[in-house]
Homo-oligomer: A and B are copies of this chain.
Amino acid sequence: MPNAPHPLDAALALQPLGADRWQGHTHPDWGNMVGPYGGITAAQLLQAACLDPRRLGEPLALTVNYAAGIADGPFEITATPSRSNRTTQHWTLQIRQGDQICTTGSAVFAVRRPTWSAPELAMPAVPPAEQVGIETRTPPVAWPRRYEFRFVEGGWPDYRSALPEQPDSRTVLWVRDQPPRPLDAPALAAVADVFYPRVFRRRQRFTPAGTVSITTYFHADAAALAAQGTRPLLAVAVGRRFTQGFFDQSAELWSDDGHLLASSHQIVYFKE
Contact = CB atoms under 8 A, between A and B. Distances in A.
A165 B116 CA distance: 11
A263 B115 CA distance: 28
Interface string A114-128: 111111110000000
A61 B106 contact: no
B265 A265 contact: yes
Interface of A is mostly: strand
Contact of A242 (B87, B117, B244): B117
Among A121, A199, A267, A271, residue most surrounded by chain B Cβ atoms (within 10 Å): A267
Contacts of A220: 243
Nearest to A259: B241
A114 B260 contact: no
A230 interface: no
A255 to B, nearest CB: 11
Interface in A128-184: 165, 168-169
Nearest to A238: B120
B241 A260 contact: yes
B61 A213 contact: yes
B272 A115 contact: yes
A83 B68 contact: yes
Contact of A267 (B60, B68, B239): B60
17 contacts: A60-B213, A61-B65, A61-B267, A63-B213, A63-B215, A67-B88, A68-B83, A83-B100, A90-B104, A92-B92, A112-B243, A120-B202, A219-B240, A240-B263, A241-B260, A241-B263, A263-B265
Given A67-B85, A92-B92, A110-B212, 4 more contacts: A105-B106, A108-B267, A120-B240, A240-B263
